[in-house]
Amino acid sequence: MITLQKSKIGSIHTNKSNCVQESREEKMMSKAELARSAGVTVQTIDRIEKGCDCRMDTKRKILLALGYQLADRQKLFFESN
């Protein structure tokens, strides 16, 4: 089961299952820079930022590329498993 958290982007409210975009922007990284650092495609980053699910291995790569530890998974991806 995925817990959705409300995120406010400008004046648009969206439900998101992660805060990858917010974390990436806080670190002043482009999607291309994050993709390169994580070893995934820009399209993968784009899909994840839009709330699409991804494999656990991809989540691990993104966590590490953003400077998080694996134990910080719940800070970036809002899910119960």
CATH number where 39 lies? 1.10.260.40
User: Within a domain: residue 37?
Assistant: yes
Q: Phi/psi at 77 (nearest 5 deg)?
A: -120, 120
Of residues 65, 71, 70, the one with CA closest to residue 48: 65
Beta bridge partners of 9: 12
The confidence score (pLDDT) of residue 53 equals 93
User: Within a domain: residue 81?
Assistant: no
The confidence score (pLDDT) of residue 15 equals 55
Note the Cα 65 to chain centre separation in Å.
Answer: 11
Residue ranges making up the domain that contains 48:
5-76
Q: What is the pLDDT of residues 71-80, one digit of tens each?
A: 999 999 987 5
State the pTM of this model: 0.77
The confidence score (pLDDT) of residue 16 equals 75
Q: Which residues of the chain have pLDDT under 50?
A: 1-13, 81
Question: Is the CA virtual torsion 20, 22, 26, 30 positive or negative?
Answer: positive
Report CA dihedral (36, 42, 54, 8) to the nearest 10 degrees.
Answer: 110
